[in-house]
């Protein structure tokens, strides 16, 4: 058992803020996957793109898809109380905020409605606040879990009569 991991037999109580934060983290991942799916469909529907531009667009979307799937894995592991996932999500969320802001800016400059960018930014900020703000959420990861107790009773072996002899020169 490593620091921050709860054994399966001894599940610790999850604070409400942790549940909300893990759920928001999953929403960030789902928004990323949905944005990639929409972008690929729009890309395939356009006929005026060169094959090189289409390839670059698909490679960039593949990178975004990998990170979105990573955020989904982190959300699942944060839900299960893994310290490494909490730290990883705290590292990934600022980058998703920047990515969402960039997506928001690009959409606004091209005259579109920035729903995907606004959703990514809002969900990322809310997840970051939910996972770091409340003391219970931070304490869940930073506090060592109670040691696992054994369900098997311990047997104490007592030797009687004692097998050791008294020192030489002393009476028993």
Q: Is 100 exposed, middle or buried (0-12, 13-18, 19+ CB in 10 A)?
A: buried
Distances (CA, A) of 131 to 25, 29, 34, 60, 103: 9, 16, 23, 29, 24
7 Cβ contact partners less than 8 Å away, ≥ 6 residues apart: 1, 145, 148
Q: Give residue-wise pLDDT tens across range 102-119.
A: 888 888 887 777 787 888
- The pLDDT of residue 67: 92
The residues spanned by each domain of the chain are 16-142
For the chain, the residue count is 172
Q: Please tell me which residue, 128 or 57, carries the higher pLDDT value.
A: 128
Whether pTM exceeds 0.85: no
> For residue 147, how far is the Cα from the chain centroid?
24
Query: What's the CA gap between 96 and 120, in Å, rounded?
Result: 7
pLDDT in tens, 65-84: 999 999 999 999 999 888 89
């Amino acid at each position: 058992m490593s620091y921050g991991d709860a054994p399966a037999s001894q599940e610790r109580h999850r604070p409400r803020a942790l549940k909300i934060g893990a759920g928001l983290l999953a929403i960030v991942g789902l928004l990323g996957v949905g944005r990639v799916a929409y972008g690929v469909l729009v890309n395939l529907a356009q006929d005026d793109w060169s094959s090189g531009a289409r390839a670059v667009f698909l490679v960039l979307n593949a990178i975004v898809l990998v990170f979105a799937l990573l955020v989904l894995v982190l959300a699942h592991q944060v839900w299960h109380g893994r310290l490494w996932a909490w730290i990883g999500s705290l590292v990934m969320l600022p980058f998703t905020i920047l990515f969402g802001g960039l997506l928001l800016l690009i959409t606004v400059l091209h005259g579109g409605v920035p729903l995907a960018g606004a959703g990514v930014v809002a969900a990322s900020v809310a997840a970051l606040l939910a996972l770091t703000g409340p003391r219970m959420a931070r304490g869940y990861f930073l506090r060592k879990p109670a040691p696992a107790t054994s369900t098997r009773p311990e047997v104490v072996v007592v030797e009687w009569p004692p097998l050791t002899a008294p020192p030489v020169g002393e009476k028993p």
